Every structure is written in structure tokens, then in C-alpha cells.
Structure 1
């Protein structure tokens, strides 16, 4: 493979891979928080429990052909599946357009790991260390290979990202006497720093904060009551903000 290939090739290739990874990520986000292995057993209908056939597991296509419902019991297929598949494909397409070649491939890989982290945090307020560690490894490998941000900026970003949110969490606990920030958030921000470098961290935080505020505003306008003690999936916000920061 060569970066000399047109960006359209990379976008199509990474977009197709992203849809497939998105399908797997959707399954992981459902099974893993429930204590089930994403690799254990065939996929089944959430309504009737019937084992799904191969033709019912084609990303996006099966959902469209079945009109979003189980062929047997007509139970609706969770919208999260198709949304995650679309997001996985979008990550691949954007990565192929922004950085055709190996850098785009590395960015897409980071984006897919971030998608998995964001989906799990949204579903269960949990950021698995194995996924955060995978993001850190991929980010460091890209830096060592000379793709994108230089390794020095990445190492500083990793330390700064973790340190800033760890200090915020520690200060909040001392002042308020309770946990206000999950233990996985500083690790995730550190891994993001290892990918994007320290210069991008303020932008990531700003985008995440503005997105969170906008979400709360929309929910309130929709009539949902939001209390100050309600939990917000910061990891999901950071994950989306990190990929957006890279893309722009």
C-alpha cells in the first residue's frame, strides 16, 4: 500500500473497514458491560433470542433489508447498532480524506478505539483499561513510525493529559468529599495526549465541554430534568472531541 494512491481509495477502504468494526463495537458495547464476551457465541435477537444468520449480520445492509426489525418476532433492532456502524464508517472515510496513507490508517485505528471507548462509557459509565491502553499503544507506535505529531510532543501530551484530569479529580474529591471524575477519564485523556500531542489538549477539552453543555441544554429544552449530581459520560465527550480535533 502506498500513500500515492488517491484519497478516494483510502476513504472507501477505511470506510468499509469502519462499518465492519462499528458492527463489532456495537456488540462489544452491549455485551462487555454485562460481563459477557463479545466473542462468545453467535449473535442473537434481543427480542426472541433466535440465533441470527449470516445474512442478518451484514452491517447496514441487513438493517435496511429487515427494515430495522427481527425477521421472526418483529422486535425492533437497537438503533445503536446502525448508529455505531455509521460512525465507524464515517471515521474511516474522514481519516482517508484527511490523511491518505499510513497516517490515515493509524488515525482511523485510534478513532475506532475511541468509538469503542465512547460507546461503552455512554452505555455503562466505564472506560476499560485494556481499550485505553490499546489507544496508547497505537498512538505511541504512530509516533515512533514518524506519522503525524512527533514523539516528544506525544510523550509530553500523555503526561500532561493524565496529570491535568488527575489533579482535577483529586481537588474535587478533597473539596466536595465525593468522587466527581471517574478513574478512567485521566487515563483516556493521557492516551489522547499520546496521540495528538500536548498542543491539542486544550482544544479537545474545549470541544468536549461545549458539546456537554449543548447536550444538557437540548435535554432541558426537551423537558428532561437534569440535576447537578447527574452523571455525564465525560469519556464519550473526550473521545468524540479527540477525533474531531485531529480531523480539523
Structure 2
């Protein structure tokens, strides 16, 4: 095995480990359960899980997605998060040298956790979005090539644009239409990719959200003005492809 292959494999293994933690986070945190304290246990019967039950992906496959004690169904988000984080780890190692790859991993894992939380609970916690923004200020010059001034303007503009939309919608309709978590998330993305990337990210995420609505409508689901859309999920999905494309266009221009 070459050194490069070993690093790519290491990125995948690291992703599986972090994916297991993030799966517990997106399952427990919205319910007010501790993520860091206490032994892992079955969500149905409370049986304490042993080492054989905690091997990422393999344990899920071996148990056929069921608790060994009560037979209750294990939420597939566990394996999906593990596989998703592993894919992000491998992709980062393939796309960038090791110091930068670690930064891309952290960004990707953070966005994946936020995407799942918003899709399942319509929740983008400050405890994830704000550290993501601070990390962007710290490492973006080495990861995405964004200078501190660009990052500061990007964060302010990203937050300000969606904040203005949220306040405008509330004033016009008398109810909330866009959560401030979306504004904070876009501000964090502005810190990572600079203000120039924000139109690309907003356009890509809006198109994804529109495609989701159309697919739901074509599938027979009722769509009306009260339908909730987890826009933060689409921001997370679009962020890296659209942000990288925008930085590439700036560099080539």
C-alpha cells in the first residue's frame, strides 16, 4: 500500500469514527439527551451497547439494523452518517494535501450534521453554526484562499441578507418564514468562501429546494403555502460545490 493510499484509507476510517459520534449527536441532542456522558445504549430498551455493537457500519450490518436485545429497529441515520462522513474523509484526502484536507473534513462533517438536524428537526443550533464561522475565519486563508477581509465581509453579508429577508417576510405576512439559523449558517459559509461566493451558494441551494418541492408535488404530496422547507439542509448540500466553483471562477478570472 502506498503512502497516498494509506492516507486516503485513513481519511475514510477517521470519517467512520466521527460519523458514529455525529450520528449520536443528531439523535440525542434534539431530545435533550447527553452526547458525551454515559454509555451508549439502545434507543428502545436502554440496553447498554458493548464494543461489538459499536463498530461503525459493520455492527449495523451484522445485526441487520436491529437491537440484539429487544429487536427494535436501529435508526438508519447511524449508518448513513458513518458512511457520509467516511465519504467526506476520502474525498477530502483525494482532493487536497493533508493539512488542507483536514480542514475540508471538518467543514464537510459540520455541514452534514447541520443538514441532518435541519431536515429532521428544522433546527440549526448556534453551537454548531457559530464555531463553524469562527473556524472559517481562522483557516479559510489556507483552505479556500479567502482573506480575512473577504471572510468578514462574507460573514456579515451572508447573515445580513437572510436576516433582512426574514424580517421583511415577518413584517409583510405577520409570521416567521425563514429561521435565523439559516442566516447564521450563510454567514458561516461567507466566512469560509468569501462574499463573492454567496450568490452562487444561494442560487444553487434555492434550485435544490425548488427541485425538492417539485419532486414532492409530483410524488403526490400536498404542497401549499404552509409547507415547511428545511432550507438550511439545501444550503449545506450546495455549500462546498458552489463555493469551490465560485472560488475557481475568481481565480481563473
The equivalent position to 1:220 in structure 2, one of 205, 217, 222, is 217
1:1-248 matches, within 5 Å, as 8-143=5-140, 148-246=145-243
Distance 1:51 1:153, change over 3 A: same
Instruction: Classify the secondary structure of the residue corresponding to 1:126.
Output: coil
1:15: how far off? Answer: 2.0
Contact kept? 2:39, 2:48, Cα under 8 Å = yes
Q: Distance between the aligned counterparts of 1:247 and 1:93, measured in 2?
A: 17
Q: Distance between the aligned counterparts of 2:239 and 2:88, measured in 1?
A: 12
1:247: how far off? Answer: 5.4
Contact kept? 2:205, 2:238, Cα under 8 Å = yes
192-201 or 137-146, which deviates more: 137-146
TM-score by length of 1: 0.91
Q: Distance between the aligned counterparts of 1:145 and 1:247, measured in 2?
A: 14
Instruction: Classify the secondary structure of the residue corresponding to 1:38.
Output: coil
Q: Which residue of 1 aligns with 2:249?
A: none
Q: Distance between the aligned counterparts of 1:203 and 1:149, measured in 2?
A: 16
For residues 158-202 of structure 1, the C-alpha deviation after alignment (integer angstroms, 9 at most, x for no partner) is 111111111111111111111111111111100011011112211
Contact kept? 1:158, 1:198, Cα under 8 Å = yes
Consecutive unaligned residues of structure 1, counting only runs of 5 or more, are: none
For residues 51-95 of structure 1, the C-alpha deviation after alignment (integer angstroms, 9 at most, x for no partner) is 111110111111111121111222221111111111111111111
Q: Distance between the aligned counterparts of 1:55 and 1:146, measured in 2?
A: 37
Q: Distance between the aligned counterparts of 2:4 and 2:149, measured in 1?
A: 29
Q: Distance between the aligned counterparts of 1:140 and 1:37, measured in 2?
A: 29
Contact kept? 2:201, 2:243, Cα under 8 Å = no
Distance 1:147 1:230, change over 3 A: closer
Instruction: Classify the secondary structure of the residue corresponding to 1:169.
Output: helix
Paired positions, count: 244
TM-score by length of 2: 0.89
Contact kept? 2:150, 2:195, Cα under 8 Å = yes
Q: Distance between the aligned counterparts of 2:151 and 2:132, measured in 1?
A: 13
Consecutive unaligned residues of structure 2, counting only runs of 5 or more, are: 246-253
1:98: how far off? Answer: 1.6
Q: Distance between the aligned counterparts of 2:211 and 2:110, measured in 1?
A: 24
Distance 1:209 1:142, change over 3 A: same
- Select the structure with the greater relative contact order (CA < 8 A; seq sep ≥ 6): 1
Q: Distance between the aligned counterparts of 2:88 and 2:105, measured in 1?
A: 6
Q: Distance between the aligned counterparts of 2:5 and 2:203, measured in 1?
A: 31
Distance 1:225 1:6, change over 3 A: farther
